[in-house]
Amino acid sequence: MRDYVYQRPLVLGLVLCAATLVVLLAGMLAGSNGLDDWHGLGALLGLAQADADGGMMAQIVWQIRMPRSIGAWLAGALLGLAGALSQAVFRNPLADPYLLGSASGASLGVCLALVGLDGSLIDMHWLARLGLTGAAFAGAMLAVVMTAALASGVAQTLRLLLAGVVVAVVLGAASSLVLQMHPHLLQSMQGFMLGSTAFVGWDSCALMLAALLPGLMLAMVLGRWLDGLALGEQTATSLGLPVKPMRWVLILTLALATGAAVAHTGLIAFVGLAAPHITRRMVRWGSRHGVLLASLMGGLLLVAADLLARVVIAPRELPVGVLTALIGGAYLLWLMRRHQQGGGMS
């Protein structure tokens, strides 16, 4: 059975925003010793500017911790948006942003960009970051086009999903081949494959925001189309909806959101899958509200996971992608068990 905790999407949206602010504030306190860095709070409030130590702490908070936390939220919001679009387009509650091979394509694009830039993910200026985002988007788009070509279009959902699996394997093998030829990039790509927000700065935040806002607006404008598509392709066609062009627009939006997130935080699993699921269990929503709520939930999930990754074994740090995979895997097993007991998948 579905468990609707909130009767109105607006209430859930406000709760998610409030929870996000709390977690972002906690991120300002997360230092090398865990959540006990009250100097960070003083720097955040402008109370630690008097001496050299206070100035250094303020710089750490404003230039490292804050962009990292905000960047984690933006990446999670992009993945939540992409996950909601994936589940709407394929009418499958287990669809995630990586189904069409876009993650493998984005990884290949980043790998080739690093070869061209001959650098690591650390200390990249904004122009290089823009090139990295463009390469990730181009790789994601290449994967989507290859998947659509292999499936002979975007009309057949099952063929599209199977083609996505094949393309993901092929592009993943291509990335491994490039790394074999350029072994000095192995360390950078290892961090990328495990998922990390450690390299996110204000420039990355600006680029992800530039991808998130148009994607959200487009998805909300097409909300009624998504509701029609949820009724089935034949029903949507009988209602006069342009199903094929609409699917292409949504898939391109999905690829942009996935590529922008993957370019800056690497491969982070389960956020795009779990965010729409959780919001659906908390409130009944249409597609217009759903994509926004899933985006807010995805941002909250990733920024909370990033906080846990920084404090669980402090002063060491867990790769956030590993943490989301563990938590997401446990959540998916719980859903499967509930489904077997008659609860049903949301």
Q: What one-character-per-residue DSSP string does 196-219 give?
A: --TT--HHHHHHHHHHHHHHHHHH
266 neighbors 195 (Cβ within 8 angstroms): yes
* CA distance linking residue 183 with residue 185, whole number of Å: 5
**H-run or E-run covering 300:** helix 287-311
* CA distance linking residue 322 with residue 276, whole number of Å: 20
298 neighbors 76 (Cβ within 8 angstroms): yes
111 neighbors 185 (Cβ within 8 angstroms): yes
CA 274 centroid distance within chain: 11
CB atoms within 10 A of CB 5: 10
User: Which residue has tokens 């077997």?
Assistant: 340
2 neighbors 281 (Cβ within 8 angstroms): yes
Residue 198 in tokens = 């450690």
Say what the pLDDT of residue 51 is.
47
CA dihedral 138, 98, 19, 314 (to 10 degrees): -90
Residue 304 in tokens = 């909370």
- Is the C-alpha dihedral spanning 265, 269, 273, 278 positive or negative? negative
- With b meaning 16 or more CB within 10 Å and e meaning fewer, what string describes 235-246? ebeeeebebeeb
Say what the pLDDT of residue 212 is.
94
Residue 39 in tokens = 């100097």
Low-confidence ranges of the chain (pLDDT < 70): 1-7, 31-55, 118-131, 153-157, 230-233, 236, 285-286, 339, 341-346
The contacts of residue 346 (CB under 8 Å, 6+ apart) are 2, 93, 277, 280, 281, 335
70 neighbors 205 (Cβ within 8 angstroms): yes
Q: ω before 97 within 30° of 0 (cis)?
A: no
Length of the chain: 346
46 neighbors 239 (Cβ within 8 angstroms): no
Give the start-to-end residue ranges of the domains of the chain. 9-340
291 neighbors 97 (Cβ within 8 angstroms): no
Residue 249 in tokens = 């627009």
37 neighbors 318 (Cβ within 8 angstroms): no
9-340 CATH, one of 1.20.1260.60, 3.40.50.150, 1.10.3470.10, 3.40.50.11540: 1.10.3470.10
Say what the pLDDT of residue 75 is.
95
Say what the pLDDT of residue 95 is.
77
Write the pLDDT tens digit of every residue in 281-312.
888 766 778 889 999 999 999 999 999 888 88
Say what the pLDDT of residue 1 is.
43
* Alpha helices (H) in the chain, listed in sequence order: 9-29, 38-44, 52-60, 66-90, 102-117, 126-150, 157-181, 186-194, 202-221, 223-230, 233-238, 243-265, 271-282, 287-311, 320-340
Three state DSSP letters for 218-267: HHHHCHHHHHHHHCCHHHHHHCCCCHHHHHHHHHHHHHHHHHHHHHHHCC
User: Which residue has tokens 């990249």?
Assistant: 124
Say what the pLDDT of residue 42 is.
54
Say what the pLDDT of residue 81 is.
93
Write the pLDDT tens digit of every residue in 36-94.
555 555 555 554 554 445 567 777 778 888 899 999 999 999 999 999 988 888 777 77
